[in-house]
Amino acid sequence: MEPTWGLGIDFGTSGARAIALAPTHEICAQAQVSLTEQTSEAWQAALLELLYQLPLEVRSRLQRIAINGTSATVLLCDRAGVPVAAPLLYNDDRGAAVLEAVRAIAPPQHPVISATSSLAKLLWWEAQGWGKSWGSASTPYYLLHQADWLAFQLHGKLGVSDYHNALKLGYDVGTLGYPAWLRQRESAIWLPQVVAPGRAIAPLIPALATALAIPHTCQICAGTTDSIAAFLASGASETGEAVTSLGSTLVLKLLSQTRVDDARYGIYSHRLGDRWLVGGASNTGGAVLRQFFSDAELTTYSQQIDPSQPSPLSYYPLPRPGERFPLCDPDLAPQLEPRPADPVAFLAGLLEGMARIEALGYQRLQALGASPLRRVLTAGGGAQNQAWQAVRSRHLHLQVEVSPQTAAAYGSALLALGQWSGSGAREWSEEL
Cβ atoms of 384 and 190 within 8 Å: the answer is: no
What's phi and psi for 430, nearest 5 deg?
Answer: -70, 150
Q: How far is CA 71 from CA 13, 117, 160, in A?
A: 11, 9, 16
pLDDT at 49: 98
- Bridging pattern class, strands 275-282 and 268-272: antiparallel
pLDDT, tens only, 25-73 = 999 999 999 999 999 999 999 999 999 999 999 999 999 999 999 999 9
pLDDT at 419: 65
d(C-alpha 192, C-alpha 233), whole Å? 26
pLDDT at 380: 85
Exposure on the CB side of residue 239, measured as CA atoms within 13 A: 15
Please give the DSSP secondary-structure letter assigned to residue 179: -
Give mean pLDDT in consecutive 10-residue pieces for the chain, a chain of 432 residues: 87 94 95 96 98 97 97 95 95 95 93 94 93 57 97 97 97 95 88 96 98 98 94 94 93 96 91 94 94 96 97 97 94 97 98 98 98 95 91 96 92 88 39 40
Cβ atoms of 356 and 327 within 8 Å: the answer is: no
Cβ atoms of 119 and 91 within 8 Å: the answer is: no
Among residues 12, 116, 17, 122, the alpha carbon closest in space to that of 70 is found at: 12
Point out which residues pair with 251 in neighbouring strands.
Answer: 245, 281
Upstream peptide bond of 23 is cis (omega within 30 degrees of 0): no
pLDDT at 159: 96
pLDDT at 103: 95
Helix then strand then coil, in percent of the chain rounded to 5, is 35, 25, 45
